[in-house]
Amino acid sequence: MQSSDKAKWIIAASAVLLIALTLFAFLRDSTKPISRDQLNTLIAGGELKQVVERESSYLLSSSEGRFSIVKSQVPSGTFDAYVVKTEEGGAIVIAILTLIILLGAASLLLRYWMKHRRFPGAPVKSAQGAGAPEQTYHVQPVVSDVTFSDIGGISDVKEELEEIIDFLKNPQRYRHFGARLPKGVLLVGPPGVGKTMIAKAVAAEANAPFYYQSASSFVHIYVGMGAKRVSELFRAAASNAPAIIFIDEIDAVGKVRDGGSNEEREATLNQLLTEMDGFTDSSGIIVIAATNKIEVLDPALLRAGRFDRRIFVDLPTPHEREAIIAKYLEKIPHSVDAKAIAEITVGFNGAALAALVNEAALHSLRNRQIHVRMEDVLAVKDKVAYGKKRLPILNEEQKECRATYLAGKAVAATWFDLAFEKVMLGSESIRPALSDPLMRHEIESHIRMLLAGKVMCDIRYREHASSAKEDIDAALTLAKAMLFEYGMGDSLLPSQEALPQLLERIEQETRTLLEGKTALVDGIVDVLLERESISKEEIKARIDAVL
Reported as half-sphere exposure (CB side, CA atoms, 13 A), residue 293 has a value of: 12
Q: Same domain, yes or no, for 326 and 474?
A: no
Instruction: Report how far residue 417's alpha carbon sits from residue 419's, in angstroms, rounded to the nearest whole number.
Output: 6
Residue 483 located in a structural domain: yes
Q: What is the pLDDT of residue 111?
A: 67
Q: What are phi and psi of 48, to 5 degrees?
A: -75, 125
Helix (H) or strand (E) holding 43: helix 36-44
Q: What is the dihedral of CA 336, 337, 341, 342, to 10 degrees?
A: 160
Domain that residue 187 falls in: 148-312
Q: Same domain, yes or no, for 340 and 410?
A: no
CB 292 within 8 A of CB 191: yes
Instruction: Report how far residue 14's alpha carbon sits from residue 5's, in angstroms, rounded to the nearest whole number.
Output: 14
Run means of pLDDT, 10 residues per run, the chain, 547 residues: 55 65 60 77 76 77 78 75 68 64 71 54 40 53 76 74 81 78 82 83 83 76 71 83 85 74 74 73 74 83 80 81 87 89 81 88 90 88 60 71 92 89 74 71 92 94 88 91 86 86 93 92 91 86 85
Q: Is 405 exposed, middle or buried (0-12, 13-18, 19+ CB in 10 A)?
A: buried
Q: Same domain, yes or no, for 341 and 361?
A: yes
Residue 110 located in a structural domain: no
Instruction: Report how far residue 70's alpha carbon sits from residue 187's, in angstroms, rounded to the nearest whole number.
Output: 90
CA 167 to chain centre: 19
Between the alpha carbon of residue 42 and those of residues 60, 182, 522, the distances in Å are 10, 87, 126
Q: Same domain, yes or no, for 414 and 467?
A: yes
Q: Is 250 exposed, middle or buried (0-12, 13-18, 19+ CB in 10 A)?
A: buried
Please state the domain count of the chain. Answer: 4
DSSP per position, 257-303: P-S-S-HHHHHHHHHHHHHHHH--TTS-EEEEEEES-GGGB-HHHHS
Q: Same domain, yes or no, for 456 and 371?
A: no
Q: Same domain, yes or no, for 304 and 156?
A: yes
Reported as half-sphere exposure (CB side, CA atoms, 13 A), residue 350 has a value of: 22
Q: Same domain, yes or no, for 170 and 271?
A: yes
Helix (H) or strand (E) holding 311: strand 309-312
CA 362 to chain centre: 36
Last residue of a domain, one of 353, 385, 417: 385
CATH number for the domain spanning 25: value is 3.30.720.210
CB 314 within 8 A of CB 267: no
CATH number for the domain spanning 372: value is 1.10.8.60
Residue 129 located in a structural domain: no
Instruction: Report how far residue 107's alpha carbon sits from residue 101's, in angstroms, rounded to the nearest whole number.
Output: 10
Bond prior to 437 in cis (omega within 30° of 0): yes
Q: Same domain, yes or no, for 193 and 302?
A: yes
Helix (H) or strand (E) holding 335: none
Instruction: Report how far residue 217's alpha carbon sits from residue 220's, in angstroms, rounded to the nearest whole number.
Output: 8
CATH number for the domain spanning 276: value is 3.40.50.300
CATH number for the domain spanning 502: value is 1.20.58.760
Q: Count the helix, strand and coil residues of the chain and give each as a percent rounded to the nearest 5.
A: 55, 10, 35
222 dihedral zone (left: phi>0; alpha: psi -120 to 50; beta): beta
Bridge partners of residue 186, in order along the sequence: 289, 310
Q: Same domain, yes or no, for 218 and 158?
A: yes
Q: Same domain, yes or no, for 266 and 210?
A: yes
Instruction: Report how far residue 192's alpha carbon sits from residue 207's, in angstroms, rounded to the nearest whole number.
Output: 25
Residue 284 located in a structural domain: yes
CB 488 within 8 A of CB 439: no
Q: What is the pLDDT of residue 347?
A: 73
Q: Same domain, yes or no, for 238 and 213?
A: yes
Instruction: Report how far residue 493's alpha carbon sits from residue 538's, in angstroms, rounded to the nearest whole number.
Output: 43
Q: Is the pTM of this model over 0.85?
A: no
Instruction: Report how far residue 541's alpha carbon sits from residue 533's, in angstroms, rounded to the nearest whole number.
Output: 15
Helix (H) or strand (E) holding 111: helix 89-116
- Radius of gyration of the chain, Cα coordinates, nearest whole angstrom: 40
Reported as half-sphere exposure (CB side, CA atoms, 13 A), residue 348 has a value of: 29
Last residue of a domain, one of 295, 312, 329: 312
